[in-house]
Amino acid sequence: MPHRPIHTHLVNGNHDLPRRGGSEPPIAQPEQPTVIVLAAGQGTRFRQSGGVMHKLDAPLGGVPVLQRVLNAVAASGLPCHVVRRASGASAVSDGMGDSIARGVAATAGATGWLILPGDLALVTSDSLLQVAQGLAGHPVVQPFWNGRRGHPVAFGAECFAALTGLCGDMGAAAVVQEYRRNGQLLELQVDDPGIVTDIDTLEDLASAEAWLGTPK
């Protein structure tokens, strides 16, 4: 099976289609931040827990984990860029920081970025939109659910240099902390456990499956 190259999967559910026979011009939409979906990790913990495939390919409610994330992004209408693992990439080059840097650099013209791990299979499109809207008044937005920090974390265009300079496994935590110290971070409370529900092990997958089957 050929390996899928990095930065190839783009999802954008925000299309303005002209109505047949209509005379009204399309309404201009404000530019929206781009969702960077991180799908370059090796999924080692999932395999160690007994998984026989990559966690992003594991079925959850009959739909692969990563596809669920992409479906949520598509439903939000936000532009999306998926960062995949390059063929032959070393483990060192696949840290979260490296993935963020590559994704942001590849979408340099964006008005901002929502950094979304590809294993957050239960996140809702409403949460993505709430976080994106938070960027209108703050350079960095971090969502919280029941006091727990979650994803996606959003960054305005002014964070471009800081994000493209990231490397290793630390992600963008240092950037978030800097803006928190400066009082420029919006801590956004959302009613969505999906922002903190990542799929790292078979147990996580089973818990997510049970949550999907629970009446809401």
- Residue pair 104/113 in contact by the 8 Å Cβ criterion: yes
pLDDT for res 93: 52
pLDDT for res 170: 84
pLDDT for res 213: 81
Residue 106: exposure state from Cβ atoms within 10 A (0-12, 13-18, ≥19): middle
pLDDT for res 146: 96
Residue 55 tokens read as 């966690």
Taking CA atoms, 6 is separated from 98, 108, 169, in Å, by: 12, 16, 18
pLDDT for res 24: 47
Residue 38 tokens read as 């991180």
Report d(CA 151, CA 141) in Å as an integer.
Answer: 10
pLDDT for res 87: 67
Encode the chain (216 residues) as per-residue pLDDT tens digits: 333 333 333 333 333 323 333 444 434 345 899 999 999 988 889 999 998 999 999 999 999 999 999 999 999 999 999 999 876 544 445 689 999 999 999 999 999 999 999 999 999 999 999 999 999 999 999 999 999 999 999 999 999 999 999 998 888 999 999 999 999 999 999 999 999 999 999 999 999 999 988 776
Report d(CA 142, CA 120) in Å as an integer.
Answer: 15
Report d(CA 74, CA 128) in Å as an integer.
Answer: 10
pLDDT for res 11: 35
